A and B are shown apart, each in its own frame.
Chain A
Amino acid sequence: MESRIKFSLNTQVVVLIVAIAMWIFLGIISPYFFTTGNVQSVMRQMTIQGILGIAEVVVIITAGIDLSVGGVVAFVNIVMSKMVSTGSNIASTVLLVMALSALIGLANGVMVYNLRIPPFIATLGMMSVLRGATLLISNGSNIFGLPRSIADFSSTNTLGIPNLFWFLILAVVIVEIILRYTSFGRYVYALGSNIEAARLSGVNIRNVTYGVYILASTLCGLAGVLETSRLWMGVPTTGTGYELDAIAAAVLGGASLMGAEGTPLGAFIGALVMTTIYNGSVLLNINPFWTRIIVGVILVVTVAIDQLRKGRR
């Protein structure tokens, strides 16, 4: 497995160099960049995207894709806001929405394994259903009236690090451990490399497929809870386009859509690069419309460099 790690580290190293170059550049140009306040702000900004990137990478390793990640975030955000604003207990609400997210993942898994729907279509359908459900529940308008404590959670730090960011660290560590040290993790990569060989080696393809989509959706549920804390309200249109950012973070971090390649740590680095670009362009007063162009170019260039490097092996 080291060869896999080494290889994806190589991809990650390319991206990490890009990130460091950007930091040096921003540090020189903007005295504000390396202040505690800004670093904490970057951490807060990248948390949601980082967690979704990790969710995405788990699915991508099996040569699948999950387009419903943003939909889950919005769905969780609305359900949680509605319940808490009408007086439900926060802790039990969080548990409930996490369980709902896991169920959504199971539904994705059933569509992909039992109904043999290509992951792209299955999760596209799920995304649409969740978006519709979100609008129905919220009646299309924002939901206010959440207790102050919810907003406070995301604006406070623990040991100098924003609470939100701790969850990202937790997600990276846990999913890295799962993929690296458990038999489930081995099966996830085996599925992405050769599903038929995995089946003939006695791997229970159904359970692994379910597991992958449940893990991904549960992570999205966590991101949805954190998003609710960050917004301090329910916004039915939140999470729009998050799936594309999540895929971009995973791919920047070395994941291959052909499967069997990618790591949660890579997705973390990918999200870091993208957040740095967003943050940097704000600091440099660049027209925000440009940032998406820059992200797009960096994504394509990184993968192109990686492909060229692989081709030369």
Chain B
Amino acid sequence: MNQEITVLMKDITKVFPGVIALQNVTFSVKQGEVKGLVGENGAGKSTLIKILTGAYTADSGEIYVFGQKIDNMNPILAEQLGISAVYQNLVLAEHLTVAENIMLGTFPTKWGLVDKPAMNKKAEEILSQIGYRGIIKPEERVGNLSTSQQGMVAIARALSRNAKIIIFDEPTAVLTDREVNELFRVIRWLRDSGRSVIYISHRLEEIFELCDTVTVLKDGAVAGEKTVSETNQDQLVAMMVGREVRHGIFDDTRKIGEEILRVENLSNKKLKNCSFALRSGEIVGIYGLVGSGRTELAKALFGVDPVESGEIFLNGKKVSLPNPRESIDSGINLIPEDRRREGIALKLSVKDNINLPVYPRITKAGFVNRDKEKEIAQTFVNILSIKTPSLTHRVENLSGGNQQKVVVAKGLASQSRIFIMDEPTNGIDVGAKEEIYQLINNIAREGSGVIFISSYMPELMAICDRILVMRDGRIVADVERKDFDEESILALAIKHETMVGGETGGK
């Protein structure tokens, strides 16, 4: 079978400040094929797709669509070329009807007015192609539909624009099993009707169920390309790993002491019976893919999200942590995943940010002790060598790495003994990363315990004593340092059939 290549991306390179997101990536899709695109978080899948749809511009490389070289790809041109993305977070206008969403921007008109009957009829025709005639009504408001039906509307919209290349980015994350089967039926129909489908997922079993070929990305480069019928899950996992682990970061001089935190059967909407313990001086990593519940575990521990059942013990004593204030006062600190949204107040000064959690301790009769305030800020600016012209400098004018240090300083200032760090090295450059690692070591050496959440396994393997692996809201494994192995940890996080409970995943 000699199928035509519809999209060819050749030697694509994209550099973000401090990070090479993609390096000489070549990727292609044929007509009538479902192409899987897999890789760990941060491997470059989304960046590649955003370049294809024109949301980002590649620094170098060439894009060919139907053999024609496209020089300045942009979202409008991409759509005209028949490239259409159906994203995880659907971008539909919820207040408009199904037909209006499908035909948006290409309304049929009569004397300058929208011709509603014609619009509804056209929408109905498209919906019937994917087997949804009568199931989704054109006059229905999109906001009233289920998530999976909204996904179908998004597909119909792509079809109304005559899409030839359709991209699905993690479409099943929010769907039930039945809805997934339904989606797969439609995707197969798209393939059989001669379109090209790019399917991104980190659920490998879906790749084997749906895709014809699969491309594996690792650290922004192509790790390999396989025909699905000639490979298996273990082989793909092996291709996704093998990244270099920095040596010399691990600190074996730390004294690991008594247990300071124990969590038993913690459950809520996103968590299922999570249990683990943390000792003083210990650095415990939590690894899991996006949506595995790692951030939710951090938020439940810190009193941000409600806990439905389960118990938390601090230094052997049972505690309840209903809100962040209690957690801070009990010596727990969260360094949140999204620094700019949750970690710092950009318009406030370095001094005010560092002191924000500790004001109750330096306030008398409502008045802040301004000398103490300055002293605290100065102390941690010195300890963390935060590069700022003055204590009164606004945090928004600092670099990403220094902003992150301000977030860490808040935790240090509140004299925490348990640090939960959610992706602390996210979006900062290499030099600042090294500093953060040293900082984590220092914090642990002083006798605190650190929970280090990351989706970049090499950094966890470099610094942690143990790694907890999460999947679907559960802690599926607790891996000791001597058993660290990228491939087996990734397999634990990624595969459906995993061991349950606190077994060691070292195999």
Contact = CB atoms under 8 A, between A and B. Distances in A.
B324 A199 contact: yes
B347 A201 contact: no
A44 B389 CA distance: 44
Contacts of B341: 194, 196-197
Interface string B406-443: 00001000100000000000000000000000000000
A3 B368 contact: no
B336 interface: yes
Given A1-B352, A186-B368, A197 B324 contact: no
A260 B393 contact: no
A190 B352 contact: yes
B242 interface: no
Contacts of B328: 201-202
Given A3-B349, A182-B367, A194 B344 contact: yes
A203 B326 CA distance: 11
B394 A4 contact: yes
Nearest to B343: A197
A297 B341 CA distance: 36
A200 B302 contact: yes
Given A192-B347, A194-B345, A3 B363 contact: no
A307 interface: no
Contacts of A189: 345, 347-348, 352
A261 B355 CA distance: 19
Interface string B271-304: 0000000000000000000000000000000101
B462 to A, nearest CB: 27
Given A182-B368, A260-B347, A260-B348, A190 B356 contact: yes
A183 B357 CA distance: 11
A250 B344 CA distance: 26
Contacts of B410: 201
A136 B21 CA distance: 67
Interface in A1-56: 1-4
A181 interface: yes
B325 interface: yes
Contacts of A4: 347-349, 392, 394
Contact of A201 (B357, B367, B370): B357
B368 A198 contact: no
Contacts of B329: 202
A198 B346 CA distance: 11
A202 B325 contact: yes
Nearest to B362: A183
A187 interface: yes
B237 interface: no
Contacts of A184: 366
Interface in A166-200: 181-184, 186-187, 189-190, 192-194, 196-200
Interface in A200-216: 200-204
Given A181-B367, A199-B324, A200-B302, A190 B392 contact: no
Given A1-B349, A3-B393, A3-B394, A202 B344 contact: no
A193 B348 contact: yes
Per DSSP, chain A at the interface is helix
A138 to B, nearest CB: 39
B334 interface: yes
A236 B347 CA distance: 41
Interface in A272-308: none
How large, as a class, is the contact surface on chain A? Answer: 20 to 34
Contact of B324 (A182, A194, A202): A202
Contacts of B304: 199-200
B274 to A, nearest CB: 20
B351 interface: yes
Interface in B177-201: none
Contacts, number: 99
Contact of B345 (A181, A197, A261): A197
A197 B341 CA distance: 7
B342 interface: yes
Contacts of B360: 183, 202
B328, B343, B345, B346: most-surrounded residue (chain A CB, <10 A): B345
Contact of A186 (B302, B343, B344, B352): B352
A194 B302 CA distance: 18
A197 B345 CA distance: 6
A193 B368 CA distance: 20
Contacts of A186: 352, 355-356, 359, 368
Contacts of A204: 325
Nearest to B335: A200
B352 A194 contact: no
A189 to B, nearest CB: 6
Nearest to A6: B392
A260 B345 contact: yes
Contacts of A260: 345, 347-348
B71 to A, nearest CB: 32
Interface string B445-484: 0000000000000000000000000000000000000000
A196 B345 CA distance: 9
Nearest to A259: B347
A196 B336 CA distance: 10
A196 B334 CA distance: 13
A3 B366 contact: no
B47 to A, nearest CB: 27
Given A199-B324, A202-B324, A202-B325, A190 B348 contact: yes
Q: Which 3 A-B pairs have the closest CB atoms?
A: A193-B345, A202-B325, A183-B359
13 contacts: A1-B352, A2-B349, A2-B390, A4-B347, A181-B368, A182-B363, A183-B366, A186-B356, A189-B347, A200-B334, A200-B342, A201-B410, A260-B347
Interface of B: 302, 304, 323-325, 327-329, 334, 336, 341-349, 351-352, 355-357, 359-360, 363, 366-368, 370, 390, 392-394, 410, 414
Given A186-B356, A189-B347, 4 more contacts: A1-B351, A196-B342, A202-B325, A261-B347
